Structure 1
Amino acid sequence: MKKQDKRKKYGNSSITSLKGADRVRLRPAVIFGSDGIEGCQHSVFEILSNSIDEAREGYGNTIEVIRHKDYSITVKDNGRGIPLDYNEQEKRYNWELVFCELYAGGKYKNNTGGNYEFSLGLNGLGCCATQYSSEYMDVTVFRDGQKFTLHFEKGENVGGLKKEEFDYERTGTIIKWKPDLEVFTDIKIPLEYYTGTLKKQAVVNAGLKFILHDEESGETFEYCYENGIVDYIKEVSEGKEFTEVQFFEKTTKGRDREDKPEYKVKMEIAFCFNNEVNMLEYYHNSSFLEYGGSPDRAVKNAFVYEIDKYIKSLGKYNKDESKITFQDIQDSLILVTNSFSTETSYENQTKKSITNKFIQDAMTEFLKEQLEVYFIENKAEADKIAEQVLVNKRSREKAERTRINIKKKLSGNIDISNRVKKFVDCRTKDVEKRELYIVEGDSALGACKLGRDAEFQAIIPVRGKILNCLKAEYDSIFKNEIIVDLLKVLGCGVEIKTKSNKEFNTFDINNLRWSKIIICTDADVDGFQIRTLILAMIYRLVPTLIYAGKVFIAESPLFEITSKDKTYFAYSDKEKNEIVAKLKGKCTIQRSKGLGENEPEMMWHTTMNPETRRLIKVVPDDIEKTERYFDILLGDDLQGRKTYIEENGYKYLDMVDVS
């Protein structure tokens, strides 16, 4: 008997194609870039973009959007209304072409008299793709003296086109639909997507009003910028700019290659310089370009070229100094470009970046020309820009040198070539068991060294009062040998934030060599101050250690109470009184000595033995409260410190070490 071949056959009948709605429903990511919430959001934008295209051609001045409680959406405009009736040229109904045919629509004849000169929905996918991906869609159109209605369910038309004579006030289109959970993994588009998108569209479509009704919250939002990107720049800058807002615009024609068709480009560019806020946003045919592409490259090339040229003309570069980068400009720049073209090459259907070579070249040259004229005609502002960009550059370079220096100092294991003075390590390599005691001075080092368990307890002494890290600049901090030694021993790097709030990523908690970092100082004013300065260092340079619960304070006893052959330790006046009362006064009370004067046995019992010691875990309070108190007590707020002491000093009089 012939053995059956269970392998799958692959022949001519194996090749299949997706038809109709399945082309979108089974592969939404191909059209929308994702089958998750991002793809669902893009399906909304496809419908919205059609209404925007209408308004930009001069048909309609208001677009309304409703976010329904069940996450269905309504988009309503007062444009000309989508043509839905019979199309003699195509020998089909337009509603079929618009809502049931991919790559069909009124936007393909841009260079030969098409309906839309500059269009978002260039690829003819929008209405059809969104309809195919919907649980249902209802379309209502007012035009030609009639009301047209369509109903779709899961990509299929139900009931055909219905029309009736209708006395309407204005032409327009209303589309209501619900994204289908069989297509998208998530349809709960957050309110922030709508508010953000509509605001951006109002920015780049001057004078066009967007109204958003949110059924879930009951709120209504309106967005309209009469002067488009100029008004938006002023809003973002909040009057803190140190140059006037500049606005350049131009319309031109060109082609990406000699063998490609000529197309029309319109560009608008607005910017100002501001030391507190920076922002770059690019839009093309009203679509927000998250990744920029051609406009981004044009802006970077033009600004670096012209500002570098101007700095050279002033002779402001130091000898052998490197030229500026765009990052140095961007740190103080608020800029928006708003471009349109009759031919657009998007990186993909989601339209987050464009690749047109002519747009890049034309914008670069135009911006260079305009910046050159601006600098000549506004020398005072040009000088301010040059000066600030050089400040940004030198700050960036200094920060980078600091970062490299820090990394160099703190990297590598502590060994004979990279040793830390007077650091006494423990034997175990098990990080979960290792404890680091930060102690006050060499005398405390000696007592703790003799009193510790050398298996898991390591010690590093702090020689005197360390630098106040809340007031010092990073340069000074990392020249301080004590602080650098402490950081080396910790092993986890540092957390530093630059002006642009980007972390120098030397910190990695996985490289921390200790399960506990224990601050151990005398129970007197000097000891408290050293403890506070160490905490300030940790808070400034490695705050995550506090949030991760790695930092502790070892409580030192204030009193030794001896009765016959037994010694008791009291950590407060209250405890002292309780012990004395229990012993009925038959005891000797002695103020506890400094850590360096204690016997090793006492150090082990009171401060280092996990069974008998008292550790206070340092925990983060309310973040704002923590920052406020650190600033008042250790920062530059001198008046705040005086006021705090005046109002609260009396509470701590019994702790003042005055004889």
Structure 2
Amino acid sequence: MADKPNSTNSAGTAYAEGSIRVLKGLEPVKQRPGMYTRTDNPLHIVQEVLDNAADEALAGYGKKIKVTLHDDGSVAIEDDGRGIPHGIHPEEGAPVLELVFTRLHAGGKFDKGKGGAYSFSGGLHGVGVSVTNALSTRLEVSSHRDGQLARLVFAGGDVVESLSRRPLEPGERKQGTTVRAWPDPKYFESAALPMGELVQLLRSKAVLMPGVSVTLVNEKTKESQTWQYKGGLRDYLLQTLVGEPVIPLFEGEGHADAGHESFAEGEGAAWAVAFTEEGAPVRESYVNLIPTPSGGTHDSGLRDGLFQAVKGFIELHALLPKGVKLMPEDVFARASYVLSAKVLDPQFQGQIKEKLNSRDALRLVSGYVRPALELWLNQHVDYGKKLAELAIKAAQSRQRAGQKVEKKKGSGVAVLPGKLTDCESRDLAHNELFLVEGDSAGGSAKMGRDKETQAVLPLRGKVLNTWEVERDRLFANTEIHDIAVAIGVDPHGPLDAPDLSGLRYGKVCILSDADVDGSHIQVLLLTLFFRHFPKLIEAGNVYVARPPLFRVDVPARGKKPATKAYALDEGELSAILDKAAKEGVARDKCQISRFKGLGEMNAEQLWDTTLNPDTRRLLPVQLGGLSFADTEDVITQLMGKGEAAARRELMELHGDEVEIDV
């Protein structure tokens, strides 16, 4: 019987088993470096090595870190930590030193809990130094450990000089690691390291590890600089501040002890906060020594703690003038701070760890900051009153700005839809409208929301597919009429210049169930905004809220009380179960419930998971990699009435990539 020919497409290229490429080892990093690191310059791949050296110091094994910029464009990082183990890995049969630099998910940081090498570390994506190796033309590593010096050399991620070991000579350092890398310019927009950022990074490591010295040597300029801060965060903040502090610095720290009911031993934060009347505020936050330039839940915890304490003080002393409403921003507006949080299992947004996403970090930091500041304010009442004055002044100017806008647009406004539950504030920077699927979820959202800044508009049933509806026929549909009137902007096209001065909310958030129907409603609303309100998407006003799919009830264990956790998807669910397992709770003891829809959540759950700005997941809606016209073509294929054939072709082509939730 003749062999069956390969199926070929119209271009005649064969598509068979051999066409499927499996990316091995470090290939995925080389193919798509932007998924693993920042590609504007090589600083981030140097930082991966630096973080490892800092983790050794954080674990108490090193006192010195030295970074050398060599004449030939390479960067060397040297530490006096324990040295990377260079024996053979029991399961993999290869030297551990080699695995650390050639496997994406290898490292001591996954081994948490008793006897793990690192309790607190910043690296937890498991990509780490293997990415540095993949994106370097050459990388040399030497490890001083167990009386031996082990050395290994790579080129483009592959071993070119296999592991060599020799006994340490008298006078040589007994322990530590040196990594020297030559970043490959073809992966980066600029091959040069940004000196300002590098200096800032090294200085911050010294700040966060009082007593550890960090040195930078530049061979080209023959310059060398060493940072060592005995006074930690306080010294650093005072040196960096622009304006004069209105009151003395508020500093403190708090960490959980072994018997803490909610947090692991050692979790907590240290902070220094200064309030100034002028000058740009200095705001720096770190998690396990990793800088988080985009902030995250630990920053939110500091903000929450400061706000609650100041608000409590103002109420206690009856300082708030009539008609003034205090908001977190009013207290935070003039605050400069350095915050260093320690979190056992940090969850970051994105591979490059710029923003902390761990929900518990908010409670963790706030729980230590608030009581400390309350005590401090009540011990120094005069300073407390100065701080209260600063916050009240900020609240008054914010409210004045909000009223001006209101007067301008007060005349001739269409009557707001009856089912809209509006918010009290008129401040665009804080106002949010939630378009909620279904009346029952709408009810929970109304009860659970923040009345000051969050408005709710419940939608009944499926919204109209407006892709091919003419603009002047849109208002025939009640739902769409109500959405447009509530937002305060008229429908428009991509080339129009609509009047956005009537916009009533800074954020318009689509909130639908995490199931297939919910996704359909989301798509219909996104279609409406892209087709008839494109300027709102362009200005970054449209968002999609992501409610969790699962709730996990973890029973009480020892002194720790029972807890509830929420997971966005299967991945987060298994992370929660893994964490529980590490704390000694078997998987079958954890009760997992799946939310069929938002209507099943009570007001408090909905606030915790989906509405609270500090703990929710809110995705901004933006154009992806395609231009406006290309995006339009894709949506026409998906939403156009006469496009059934094109949709079918798309499904046949990509059907097997989709996980269907039946």
Distance between the aligned counterparts of 1:233 and 1:134, measured in 2? 36
Q: Which amino acid letter does the alignment assign opposite residue 248 of structure 2?
A: E
Q: What is the CA distance between 1:212 and its match in structure 2?
A: 0.6
1:245-299 CA-to-partner distances (Å, cap 9, x unmatched) read 22222222799x99xx967513112212222342222110101111111112212
2:36 equivalent to 1:31:
yes
Say whether residues 1:221 and 2:225 are aligned partners.
yes
Offset, 1:233: 2.0
Structure 2 match to 1:105 = 107
CA distance in structure 2 between the aligned counterparts of 1:5 and 1:330, rounded to whole angstroms: 62
Q: Which of 39, 49, 52 is matched with 2:51 structurally?
A: 49
Contact 2:254 2:269 in 1 (8 A): yes
Q: Secondary structure at the match of 1:231?
A: helix
2:235 corresponds to which residue?
A: 231
Equivalent residue number for residue 190 of structure 2: 186
> Which residue of structure 1 lines up, in the alignment, with residue 277 of structure 2?
275
User: SS of the residue aligned with 2:110?
Assistant: coil
1:293 & 1:115 partners in 2: Cα distance? 26
1:21 is aligned to 26
Check the 8 A contact 2:154/2:160 in 1, yes or no.
Answer: yes
Q: How many residues align structurally?
A: 403
Q: CA deviation at 1:385?
A: 0.5
Letter of the structure 1 residue corresponding to residue 166 of structure 2: E
Give me the whole-angstrom Cα distance separating, in 2, the residues matched to 1:172 and 1:341: 26
TM-score scaled by length of structure 1:
0.57
Q: Could you list the per-position Cα deviations for residues 219-238 of structure 1 after superposition, in whole angstroms to 9, with x for gaps in the alignment?
A: 22221111211211222347
1:596 match:
none
The 5-angstrom pairing of residues 183-582 of structure 1 reads 183-237=187-241, 240-252=244-256, 265-277=267-279, 278-321=281-324, 323-398=325-400
Cα distance in structure 2, aligned partners of 1:254 and 1:145: 36
Deviations 1:332-352 (A, max 9, x none): 222221011221111122111
Amino acid corresponding to residue 31 of structure 1 in structure 2: Y
Deviation string, structure 1 residues 460-514 (Cα, Å, up to 9, x no partner): xxxxxxxxxxxxxxxxxxxxxxxxxxxxxxxxx9xxxxxxxxxxxxxxxxxxxxx
Query: Corresponding residue for 1:477?
Result: none
Structure 1 counterpart of 2:563:
none
Question: 1:74 Cα shift?
Answer: 0.8
Distance in 1 separating the partners of 2:390 and 2:187: 51
Given candidates 132, 147, 150, the residue that maps to 1:148 is 150
Q: What is the SS of the residue equivalent to 1:305?
A: helix
CA drift of 1:81 comes to 1.2
Q: Deviation at 1:129?
A: 1.5
Q: Distance in 2 between matches of 1:9 and 1:394?
A: 70
* TM-score (norm: length of structure 2): 0.56
Relative to structure 1, is the Cα distance of residues 311 and 85 closer, same or farther in structure 2, using a 3 angstrom cutoff?
Answer: same
Structure 1 letter corresponding to 2:192: K
Measured in 2, the distance between the counterparts of 1:26 and 1:329 equals: 46
- Equivalent pair of 2:268/2:365 in contact (CA under 8 Å): no
- The answer to whether the 8 Å contact 1:207/1:226 transfers is yes
Shift of 1:179: 0.7
Deviations, residues 177-197 of structure 1 (Å, cap 9, x unaligned): 111123333221121121111
* Alpha carbons 2:307, 2:332 under 8 Å: kept: no
Query: For the structure 1 residues 42 and 391, does the alpha-carbon distance in structure 2 shift closer, same or farther, using more than 3 Å as the test?
Result: same
Greater Cα shift, 301-310 or 376-385? 301-310
Contact 1:138 1:150 in 2 (8 A): yes
In the other structure, the counterpart of 1:532 is none
Deviation for aligned residue 1:402? 6.5
- Tell me how far apart the structure 1 counterparts of residues 369 and 15 of structure 2 sit (CA, whole Å): 58
1:248·1:270 contact (CA, 8 Å) conserved in 2?
yes
AA aligned opposite 1:47: V
Please tell me whether the aligned partners of residues 28 and 184 of structure 1 are also in contact (alpha carbons under 8 angstroms).
no
Q: Alpha-carbon deviation of 1:112? A: 2.8
User: How far apart, CA to CA, are the structure 1 residues paired with 2:112 and 2:162?
Assistant: 30
Mind listing any 5+ residue stretches in structure 1 that lack a counterpart? 409-492, 494-659
CA contact (8 A) 2:250 2:373 kept: no
In the alignment, is the contact (CA less than 8 A) between 1:138 and 1:177 conserved in 2? yes
Q: Is the 8 A contact 2:119 2:344 kept in 1?
A: yes
Residue aligned with 1:86, SS? coil
Q: How far 1:91 sits from its partner (Å)?
A: 3.0
SS of the aligned residue for 2:108 comes to coil
Pair 76,372 (structure 1): closer, same or farther in 2 beyond 3 Å: same
- Map of 2:133 onto structure 1: 131
Aligned residues of 2:210 and 2:230 also touching (Cα < 8 A):
yes
CA distance in 2, matches of 1:399, 1:342: 42
Aligned counterparts of 2:345 and 2:257: Cα–Cα separation in 1: 11
Mapped contact 2:268–2:368 kept (Cα < 8 A): no
Match among 171, 175, 187 for residue 175 of structure 2: 171
Deviation at 1:8, TM superposition (A): 4.4
Does the 8 A contact of 2:138 with 2:153 survive in 1?
Answer: yes
* Contact 2:264 2:344 (C-alpha < 8 Å) held by counterparts: no
**Are the counterparts in 2 of residues 111 and 342 from structure 1 also a CA contact under 8 Å?**
no
Could you say if the C-alpha distance between residues 60 and 393 of structure 1 is closer, same or farther in structure 2, counting changes exceeding 3 Å?
same
CA shift digits 1:108-151 (9 cap, x unpaired): 22213111121122333222111111100111222222222111
**For the structure 1 residues 407 and 217, does the alpha-carbon distance in structure 2 shift closer, same or farther, using more than 3 Å as the test?**
farther
1:333–1:262: structure 2 CA closer, same or farther, 3 Å change rule?
closer
| Distance change (3 Å), C-alpha of 1:16 and 1:388 | same
User: Using the alignment, how far apart are the partners of 1:173 and 1:309 within structure 2?
Assistant: 50
1:6 lines up with 2:8 in the alignment: no
Supply the AA of the counterpart residue of 2:34: A
Unpaired segments ≥5 residues, structure 2 = 1-7, 411-500, 502-662
Shift of 1:371: 1.9
In the superposition, relative to structure 1, how do residues 406 and 221 fare at CA in structure 2: closer, same or farther (>3 Å)? farther
Distance 1:270 1:133 in 2: 37
Identity of aligned residues (%): 26
For residues 232 and 117 of structure 2, what CA distance do their matches in structure 1 show? 24
Structure 1 residues 35 and 242, CA gap change in structure 2 (3 angstroms): closer
Equivalent AA in structure 2 for residue 287 of structure 1: I
RMSD: 3.1
Q: How far apart, CA to CA, are the structure 2 residues paired with 1:351 and 1:58?
A: 23
**Distance in 1 of aligned mates of 2:32 and 2:9:** 35
Q: Which amino acid letter does the alignment assign opposite residue 107 of structure 1?
A: K
Q: CA deviation at 1:397?
A: 4.0
Contact 1:254 1:358 in 2 (8 A): no
- Matching residue's letter, 2:355: S
Residue identity matched to 1:302? G
Q: Cα distance 1:6–1:399, how it changes in 2: closer, same or farther (>3 A)?
A: closer
SS in 2 for 1:248: strand
